[in-house]
Amino acid sequence: MIAAKIIVLLLLINAAPAVMMPFCFKERPFGTPMDFDLRFWDGRAFLGKHKTVGGFGFGILAGCSIGYVLGFSLPLGFGAGLLAMAGDSVSSFIKRRFNFDEGTEIIVLDQVFQGGFPIAMFHSAYGFSFRTSGAIFTIFILAGIFGSRLHRRLFSPARKQVHTVIRSSSGFKEWRACHIALSPVARLFNFENVIYYRLIMQTFFKLSGLYNRGIRNALSVRVNALGFSFKHLPEAFDQYKILFMSDLHLDGLDGLTERLIEIVRKQPVDLCLLGGDYRMEMYGQFKTANQKLGRLVRHIRARDGVFGVLGNHDCIEIAPDLEDSKVCMLINDAMVLERDGRHLAICGVDDPHYYQCHDLDKALGEVPENAFSILLAHSPEIINSLDHHDIDLCLCGHTHGGQICLPLIGPVFTHCPVPRRFASGRWRYNDTCGYTSCGAGSSGIPLRYNCRPEVLVITLTRSP
């Protein structure tokens, strides 16, 4: 009977922080990380932001209160809560050393210290045999694994965020496509990223001694000032300035974030638009790229805000993280700005290249008639959807301008099945003016040749 009570007590202690913290005490001081954001000698966090003072306290409080209800003394309940939370911290410390993302479930490791420490206390307090303590420990681990998976099914924020943050009618289609992108087979046999970039190009430039030069080229980001003139631009938006950056791939090249910060802090603008592809890979963790994006956004001086769309490296699950970095995501949606009774609409569509979840009709659904419209799309493939839509200016990226270009010939690949006149620079499609950026970052390998990365500063003017 005592053994069963110990198992129940330990399960409830370890469940208490996960169940209670999402509903209260998320802000400081209770939401303060246990490690106070300090770093270990390897440069990684001691425990991570998920291990908070409030969560640790909830575990101890659960040990005292639930232990008392189950018939344990207060010192034993307190000790069980304290040791279980200490064991949880040890597990987190080990996972940070191996660079696992916060919240990653590691079977057995997640339970062994949480249960082992307090069970050792009960073993001593009640004089259990090692066989009895071992049985309690084994049952706790198995029950903990089952409980963890049940909690994830019931309370997983990722499941809720897909419905609350993403407003695309194609959301489910993209959610499925994101998981297709995680396929190891797709990663292994991807022609552009694996065969072309990492096998052929990387080998060639390393053997030729030009690799370091390509890195320097990739960090040589230029500021490209452009002007677009429109007769029907509302007078209230004359001389309106837009900072446009696409294809950042911030975790793919050391020093790129610092270079972009140096640029944007000197560019006061009215609006900032981000064209997608925030991380280097099409799969895996997004934490590093998002941390760098957050740093960059803090230095952007745009009085009407920062807006972005998803690219082919950005699955739908990372959209909430992007919004946490203060980027307002436009996923088949629009934001309308008003000045002196006139409107300028910023429309953003989902990725038209890989996921193909763009819905221009939905994005334009609530745009006022006669509003000046700017369409933000990751790829110039959006031109295939522009017919029968009144778009004044379209901004896109994805192609990197080819990234590796040959003299007189141009890009080896544009990574985009549209005519090459749409692959970089200015273009026009029917009544729509457009620009395809060469991108600020680099994809596949962090190299550029004959194609400088760029940040655009666009000025809209009203024609006489």
How far apart CA 36 and CA 58 sit, in angstroms, is 18
pLDDT (tens digit per residue) in 280-296: 888 777 888 999 999 99
Buried b (16+ CB within 10 A) or exposed e, 157-193: eeeebbeebbebebbeebbebbeebeeeeeeeebeeb
Alpha helices in 329-464 (DSSP H): 360-363
Highest mean pLDDT among 194-198, 361-365, 426-430: 426-430
Mean pLDDT is lowest, of 191-195, 211-215, 363-367, for: 191-195
Give the model's pLDDT for residue 254.
93
Average pLDDT over residues 120-130: 89
Q: What's the full length of the chain, in residues?
A: 464
Ranges in the chain annotated CATH 3.60.21.10: 188-462
Alpha-carbon distance of 295 to 255, in angstroms, equals 13
Q: Tell me what the mean pLDDT of segment 422-448 comes to.
A: 93
DSSP conformational letter for 265 = T
Strands 372-376 and 393-396: parallel
Least confident of 43-47, 73-77, 407-411: 43-47
The class (CATH top level) of 188-462 is alpha beta
Whether 83 shows a pLDDT value over 70: the answer reads: yes
Give the pLDDT confidence score for residue 57 in this predicted structure. 85
Nearest-10 crossing angle of helices 2-20, 130-155? 30
Retrieve residue 288's tokens.
């590093």
Query: What are 338-381's pLDDT values in tens digits?
Result: 998 899 999 999 999 888 889 999 999 888 888 999 999 999 99
- pLDDT over 80 at 209, yes or no: yes
φ and ψ at 284, to 5 degrees? 85, -165
- pLDDT value of residue 169: 38
- The string of pLDDT tens digits covering residues 308-346 is 999 999 888 888 889 988 999 999 999 999 998 899 999
- Round to whole Å and give the CA distance between 391 and 384: 13
Question: Which pLDDT does position 212 carry in this prediction?
Answer: 92
The helix, strand and coil proportions of the chain, stated in percent and rounded to the nearest 5, come to: 45, 15, 40
pLDDT, tens digit, for every residue of 247-264? 999 999 999 999 999 999
pLDDT level of residue 190 (50, 70, 90 thresholds): low
Tell me what pLDDT residue 161 has: 35
| Closest residue by Cα to residue 442 from 179, 193, 141, 189 | 193
